[in-house]
Amino acid sequence: MSTSLTQSAIWQELGHHQAEVKAIPLRDLVMNDPRRLEDFQLSLEGLRFNFALNRIVPKTIDLLTQLAAQQKLEFARERMFCGEVINISEGRAALHTALRQKKDRPIKVDGRDIIPDILIARLRLTRFVDEVRNGYWKGASGEAIRHIVNIGIGGSDLGPRLATRALSPFISKLNVHFVANADAFELTNILANIDPAHTLFVVVSKTFTTQETLLNAHMARQWLVNKLGPQAVAQHFVAVSANQAEVEKFGIDVANVFPIWDWVGGRYSLWSAVGLSLALAIGMENFEKMLDGAEAMDEHFCTAPLAKNMPVVMGLLGVWYRNFWATKAQVILPYAERLRDLPRYLQQLEMESNGKTTTQTNQRVDYATAPIIFGECGTVGQHSFHQLLHQGSDVIPADFIGICEDNLNKPQHHQAMLANMVAQAGALAFGRDNATDLHNACAGNRPSNLILLDRLDPFCFGMLLALYEHKVFVEGVVWNINSFDQPGVELGKELARGLEAKEAANTSEKVFLTRLFKTVQTPNIN
């Protein structure tokens, strides 16, 4: 019987080490080491990862990399990049990295090299994006397209939505709108403000069975048919899916289906045709620069020594706080309004990937796994929940993300953003002594990472997302869980289907839920 993770020598040693480090105030760790700012920083092209404001000493990183070695991180990384079936429960590879691979290296799935499929799909994407952006793709009334409406949810929405806002300075020619929720509010508002003749609907769904997406897609199609007639669907609807049969059933022309594959998880799929709406907005040249940025991070992740490897250090710090400091949450604080949707995107990436309690061998874990991820862009969050970050009963490690370039040439605003970001990190770390006035004292000792992008452009943005993808992977490997399935989301979907179909309630729980469902549908008028 192999030693359990928590019984392993390195895990035990990390526990003792935490007690050692806890005895040293973060202020002392920083002030007593004049080289700390330089020694605890890793750089790659236009991205810097500074981890000086963490409750660590050099020995901490050594021990954490030993833990990673024990958990065979490098072997697991190689298996992912090579297309091994690492998503064991679904019998699939996890090959989002193949979508942006530049080197000429075949990757086989079921004995077949899938790189040609990726390149052909990207060629089709390029041709279509150019046709639409340059007005060659005509709507049913012969008009060029001006509005894109992306209909999708989860990984079919959060990545494209985040990227489109983050890269908004690179948008031209087209307006992009996003619809995700089953609530008709979003789509109703969009349809009220667009002209059908100039609108293209992009229905994104890997399974093409997701209730919210089909609800919205049917509503959009009915709207279009009412305006332009049934023959118009062919020129105003395209689909991105792995399920061609369901797409055809919906009534979208097979020629208008852009393929995605089972070996790419939804939350890891922005790099595929799931990014079609983004590519339409910023053009393929910029889309490919985003792929290049992600690929640069892939190369770094695959080649840098563990202790000098950004995703590895970031993931191991996540384990350090979650498992040895018993932190419950992690807060994402992008100091850029254009990255406002990053916390929402990372909620899915991190919590749908690692919010699990069974191992790859179906054993119950005896240690904590993914923390609660939340966040808000700075400086808005400072006026919302930063009080708790500074004086709350929980220590919540923070990721600050800053942009060096002042692309709007508003130096006062830009300096304010960067000054507030650094000040918040400093206040969390060093606090404010006030023994006589506890009420206003800030304990400090609250750790944070600082991720700095030279510019918020496609390349740096691609590096940033790939950094987090691999950070999540590192944590999943240490925790020995499957980061690429999501069995926990199925139960809720099944119960909702039963309630809506008014299925016979055959358990006491379902009887209760049926009663509750009736109650929520009945206005509370006296």
Contact footprint for ligand F6P (CB under 6 A): 153-156, 205-207, 210, 213, 266-267, 352, 486, 489
DSSP 256: G
Single-letter residue type at 219 = M
Is 74 marked active-site? no
- The Cα 351–Cα 428 span in angstroms is 25
Q: Indicate which residue of 493, 500, 503, 509 is catalytic.
A: 493
DSSP 382: G
Looking at beta carbons only, is 207 or 407 nearer to ligand F6P?
207
Is 352 marked active-site? yes
Is 493 marked active-site? yes
Single-letter residue type at 470 = H
> What Å distances lie between residue 374 and 164, 265, 328, 341, 398, CA to CA?
21, 22, 11, 11, 10
Looking at beta carbons only, is 158 or 477 nearer to ligand F6P?
158
Tell me the two tokens of residue 216. 């919205």
Looking at beta carbons only, is 154 or 476 nearer to ligand F6P?
154
- The Cα 166–Cα 477 span in angstroms is 30
Looking at beta carbons only, is 150 or 309 nearer to ligand F6P?
150
Q: Indicate which residue of 212, 288, 295, 352 is catalytic.
A: 352
Residue nearest to ligand F6P (CB): 266
Shortest Å, Cβ 207 to ligand F6P: 3
Shortest Å, Cβ 347 to ligand F6P: 11
Looking at beta carbons only, is 156 or 235 nearer to ligand F6P?
156
Shortest Å, Cβ 491 to ligand F6P: 12
Shortest Å, Cβ 489 to ligand F6P: 4
Looking at beta carbons only, is 83 or 154 nearer to ligand F6P?
154
Looking at beta carbons only, is 64 or 278 nearer to ligand F6P?
278
Long-range contacts formed by 253-259: CB under 8 A, 24+ apart: 258/121, 258/124, 258/125, 258/128, 259/117, 259/121
Q: Which run of H or E residues covers position 379?
A: none
Tell me the two tokens of residue 374. 């939340």
Q: Report yes or no: 273 and 152 within 8 Å, Cβ to Cβ.
A: no
Shortest Å, Cβ 482 to ligand F6P: 13
Q: Indicate which residue of 72, 102, 108, 383 is catalytic.
A: 383
Shortest Å, Cβ 209 to ligand F6P: 7
Q: Which run of H or E residues covers position 288?
A: helix 284-303
- The Cα 498–Cα 487 span in angstroms is 18
Exposed e or buried b per residue across 196-211, where buried means at least 16 C-beta atoms within 10 angstroms of its C-beta: bbbbbbbbbbbebebe
- Residue 52: phi and psi, rounded to 5, are -65, -30
Shortest Å, Cβ 130 to ligand F6P: 25
- Which residue spans within 310-354 are E strands per DSSP? 329-334
Tell me the two tokens of residue 472. 């999540």
**Catalytic sites, residue numbers:** 352, 383, 493
